[in-house]
Structure 1
Amino acid sequence: MNFVSTRGNVTKIGFIDTVLMGLANDGGLLVPEKIPQISADKLEAMSELTYQELAFEIFSYYVDGEIPDNELKALIEKSYATFRHPEVTPVKKVKDNMFVLELFHGPTFAFKDIALQFLGNLYSYVSKKTGETIHILGATSGDTGASAIEGVRGKEGIRICILHPHGKVSKVQELQMTTVDDKSVLNLAIKGTFDDGQRIIKELFADMNVKNKYHLRAINSINFVRILAQTVYYFYAYFQVKKELELQSVNFSVPTGNFGDIFAGYLAKKMGLPVGNLIVATNENNILEGFIRDGVYEPGEFRSTYSPSMDIQVASNFERYLYYLLGEDSKAVSDLMEKFQSEGKIVVSEEQLRQVKVDFAAHGVEGEECLQTISKYYDETSYLLDPHTACGVAAYERCNDSSEVCVTLATAHPAKFNESVERCNIQQTFPEQISQLFNKPQYLEVVEADKDEVVRHLETLFRFTAN
C-alpha cells in the first residue's frame, strides 16, 4: 500500500513513513494511492468479528505487512484494553430506526481515544524499533489534547506539546489536559481560537527546518492513522445494527468540526461498506453546512457555542474530500488550496456541487436547538446526550427520512460538558475519574497565538534533542 499527497509532490511512501510524516511535506494531506475494496462476501465474514479483530482486518489493508501480524494484533489489543466497555464502541437503540454509537468509553470519555490510544502505542512501537525520540505537536478544540496526552504519557521516547484555545474549552476538557504532571507533557493555552492553533501547527509542520530540528510528529487528524482508526467503528456499527434489523444500508449522522470523523465514514463507504446518507452535523460555526448547501467554502465569524469541540471554521480534513471530489487531481487540489489561501474561500462548480449533495447532507444546529434536543431525549427516552451528540441527533431529525435507519455518533460523555447539560436543568452524576480532576493542580502556560512564541516553548521541552 502506497500513500500520496493530495497536492501531488509526495508519492509512493509506505504506512510507517505516512505515520511519521503526518502533514505531507508539500503542505497537503496523505491519502492511500488506491482505496482497498471489500467484497460483499468479505463483509459478511467480517460481521462476526470482535471490535479488535475487525480493527486488525481493516488496518491490515493499509499497513500492508510493514508491521508483522502478531505485532499489529498486540498493538490493537493493548490500545483497546483501556476501554471500559467490552465492545469498545457499543451501539444503543434509542428509538425506532434511531441508534447511537457510543464512542466515549475510552480513558478520556471522548471518541478521540479510539484513534489516539492506537496512535500513541504505534508511535511508541516505532520509537523502540528505530531508537528515535518522537516529539508530538498538536492543537485541540478540547478532546484531542486530553486523548493524545493520555495516549502517550509515560511512554519512553515520546514527548508532547498540545495547544488549546484559552478559556474556550469545557472545564473538564481543560482539567483532563492540564492536571497531568509529567515533564514530557507541555500544555500551551493560546490567546485565540482552535483555528489559530491549527494554523500554527500547519505552519510549523510546513517549515521543514523547524520540523526536522525538533523531530516533530503529528497527532491531529492531519495524520492519516487518525482517520483509519475511526473508519473501523463505522463497519462495527453497521454490523451490529444489521444483526437487529433487515436492511440494505445505514445512514450516519456525525457531529464534526474538523471533518475527520465524517471523512472516516466517507472512506468506509468508498471501501464498500453499505452506507446510505452521511449527515454532517455542525453548530453555529457552520462553514461545512454552507459548502454542502451552496458549494461555497468560506470561513465566517467565529462563535463560541455549547458544543465547543466543534467550534472550528477551517476544517483540516476537508482537503482530503476535495481530492476525491476533484477526481484525485492533485494539481487541481493544489491550485484550489492556493486560491483559498489568497482569497479566503473555495467555490466548486454546479456539477461538483451535485456530487457533494450525493455524498452528504448537512444541518447547522443553533444553540437553543442543541439544548432542546438534550432536554427532549432525556425526557422522552431517559438517554442523556452531550451537546455534540445532540447536534448529531438534531441533524438526524432534520435530514433523515423516517423510514431509514440512522446511527448518530455519540462523540463524548455528557459529564465532559456539564455546563451545557445544566442549562437544561438536568443533574448528572460524574464518573469517578472525572470527579477526581477537580481536586488536582493544573500545569499550563498561557501564550500568544504566535508561531515564534510556540517555538520558544518547544525549545524548552525538546532542547535536549535539538541539533
Structure 2
Amino acid sequence: MRYISTRGEAPALGFEDVLLTGLATDGGLYVPESLPHFSLEEIRSWRGLSYSELAFKVMHPFVDDAIPAEDFRRMLDETYGVAFAHKAVAPLVQLDTNEWVMELFRGPTLAFKDFALQLLGRLLDYVLEKRKQHVVIMGATSGDTGSAAIEGCRRCEHVDIFILHPHERVSEVQRRQMTTVKGDNIHNIAVRGNFDDCQRMVKASFGDQSFLGGKTQLAAVNSINWARIMAQIVYYFHASLALGGPDRSMAFSVPTGNFGDIFAGYLAKKMGLPISQLVIATNRNDILHRFMSGNRYEQLNLEHTLSPSMDIMVSSNFERLLFDLHGRDGLAVKELLENAAKGPVSIEDYRWRHARKLFDSDAVDDEGTTDTIREVFDQNEYLLDPHTAIGVRAARNCRRDPAIPMITLGTAHPAKFPDAVLRSGVKAEPSLPVHMSDLFEREEQYTVLDNDLPAVQGFIAKHWKNT
C-alpha cells in the first residue's frame, strides 16, 4: 500500500512514513493510492466478530506488510479489548423506529477520538522503537483531540507531546482532561486565539521544521494523520453489521468540524459498505453546510458555540474529498485551495452534484442544539451531548428514507459539556464516570501563550526533553 499527496507534488510513501510525516512536503494530505474493496459476501462473513477482529479485517490492507499481522492484531486487542469501558466498544442505542445513536464515547477520554488515538499511540511506539527514533508530537485541538492524544501517547517512550488549544474556548472538563495528566513529555499550550489559529500554527510548523534545529521531527495526531482516518472507518462497518448490513443500506449523521470522521464514512462506502446517505451536521460555523447546500466554500468569522469541538472554519480533511471530486488531480486541488484562501470559491456544477448524491448537510444553532437535548431526553430519558444533539437534529431534518436505519455518531459524553445540558432545561445533571470522578480536584498544568507562531515554536524548541 502506497500513499500519495492530495496536491500531487510530494513523493509517494509507505505506511510507516505516512504515520510519522503528517502533512506532505507539498502541503497536501496523504491518501491511499488505491482503496481495498470488500464484496458483500466478505462483509457478511464478518458478522459476529469482536470489534478488534473486525478492525483487523478493515484496517490490515492499509498497514499491509509494514507491521507483521500478529503484532498488528496484538495492538488492536490491547486498544479495543482493554481501553474501552463497554464490551461492545461502540454500542448502539435506539431512539425511535430505525433511529439510532452509536456511542463512541466509551473510551478513556469520553470522546470518539479515542478510537483512533488509543491505536495511534501504540503504532507510534512500535514504529519509533523499531527505528530507534524520537519525535515531537504537535497538535491542535478544539477540545477532544488533545486529551485523547495525551492519553493515547503519554506512555510512549519516544515522543514529546505539545498540544495547542484555544484559551478559554474549550469546556472546563475538556481542558482539565488535558492539563491534569502528569508527565515530563506532556506540554499543554493555551493560545490566545481560536482553533483555526492553533491549526494554522501546526500546519506552518510542519511546513518548516527548522525551529527544531534538525535534532528531531514533528509527528501529527490531528486528523491530517492518515492513521486517524483509517481507524474511524471501522465503526461504520460495526454499526452496519449490527443492524442487518450489508444486506440493507444504512444512513449516518455525523457531527463534524474538520471533516475527518465523515470522510471515514465516505471511504467505508467506497470500500463496499452499502451507505445511502451521509449527513454533515454542523453548528453556526457552517462552512461545510454552505458548500454542500449551495456550492459556495467561504471562510467567515469563527463563532464560539455550545459545541466547541466543531468551532472550526478551516476543515482540513475536506481537501481529501475535493481530491476525489477532482478526479485525483492534485494541481487542481492546490489551485482551488489557494483561491479559497483569498475569497469564496465553487467547484464545477457536475462535481458538486456528484457529491450531493451521497451527502446532505444541516447547520444547527445553539437554540436548536438545546431544544434537541431536551426533546430527546423527554422522549427517551437519554441525555445527549451538544455535538451529538446537532447530529440527531440534522439527521431528522435531512433524512431521505425512513425505511433505512439512520445512525447518528455519538461523539462525546454529555458530562463533558454540562453548560449545554443546563441550558437545555433538562432535569438531569450528567456525571463523570468513576475513573474521572476526581477530575476537578486534580492539579492543572499548562502555559498560556500569545497567538504568535515564533513564540509557540520557541516554547517547543526549548522544552522537548532531548534538547
1:208 is displaced (CA, Å) by 4.3
Instruction: Verify: 1:200 aligned to 2:201, yes or no.
Output: yes
% identity of equivalent residues: 45
Q: Please give the per-residue CA displacement for 1:299-319, whole angstroms capped at 9, x wherever unaligned.
A: 112111111100000001010
Counterparts of residues 182-201 of structure 1 (less than 5 Å) = 182-201=183-202
Whether the aligned pair in 2 keeps the contact of 1:214 and 1:462 (CA below 8 Å) is no
2:174 counterpart SS class: helix
Which segment drifts farther, 115-124 or 348-357? 348-357
Name the residue aligned to 1:176. 177
Measure the CA separation in 1 of the matches of 2:116 and 2:431: 27
Instruction: Verify: 1:442 aligned to 2:444, yes or no.
Output: yes
TM-score of the two chains, using structure 1 as the length reference: 0.97
Residue identity matched to 1:263: F
Which segment drifts farther, 206-215 or 280-289? 206-215
Question: Structure 2, unaligned stretches of length 5 or more?
Answer: none
1:280 is displaced (CA, Å) by 0.3
1:344 is displaced (CA, Å) by 3.2
Name the residue aligned to 2:431. 429
Name the residue aligned to 1:161. 162
Whether the aligned pair in 2 keeps the contact of 1:386 and 1:414 (CA below 8 Å) is yes
Residue identity matched to 1:359: L
Q: Could you tell me which of 228, 231, 241 is aligned with 1:229? A: 231
Instruction: Verify: 1:398 aligned to 2:397, yes or no.
Output: yes
Measure the CA separation in 1 of the matches of 2:353 and 2:284: 24
Name the residue aligned to 2:68. 68
Measure the CA separation in 2 of the matches of 1:44 and 1:154: 37
Counterparts of residues 38-437 of structure 1 (less than 5 Å) = 38-80=38-80, 81-210=82-211, 212-242=214-244, 248-341=248-341, 343-401=342-400, 402-426=402-426, 427-437=429-439
1:408 counterpart SS class: strand
Whether the aligned pair in 2 keeps the contact of 1:294 and 1:353 (CA below 8 Å) is no
Measure the CA separation in 2 of the matches of 1:231 and 1:10: 25
1:247 is displaced (CA, Å) by 5.6
Q: Please give the per-residue CA displacement for 1:299-341, whole angstroms capped at 9, x wherever unaligned.
A: 1121111111000000010100000010111111111122223
TM-score of the two chains, using structure 2 as the length reference: 0.97
Q: Aligned Cα RMSD in Å?
A: 1.3
Measure the CA separation in 2 of the matches of 1:345 and 1:35: 31
Call closer, same or farther: CA 1:120–1:463 in 2, change over 3 Å.
Answer: closer
Residue identity matched to 1:53: E
Measure the CA separation in 2 of the matches of 1:41 and 1:11: 36
Whether the aligned pair in 2 keeps the contact of 1:123 and 1:134 (CA below 8 Å) is no
Measure the CA separation in 1 of the matches of 2:225 and 2:257: 16
Measure the CA separation in 2 of the matches of 1:158 and 1:214: 10
Residue identity matched to 1:458: I
Residue identity matched to 2:7: R
Q: Please give the per-residue CA displacement for 1:396-454, whole angstroms capped at 9, x wherever unaligned.
A: 11001333210000000000001111112332333223331100111001101111011
Measure the CA separation in 1 of the matches of 2:397 and 2:351: 24
Count of residues in correspondence between the two structures: 462
Call closer, same or farther: CA 1:348–1:213 in 2, change over 3 Å.
Answer: farther
1:463 is displaced (CA, Å) by 5.7
Measure the CA separation in 2 of the matches of 1:103 and 1:230: 10
Question: Structure 1, unaligned stretches of length 5 or more?
Answer: none
Call closer, same or farther: CA 1:345–1:208 in 2, change over 3 Å.
Answer: farther
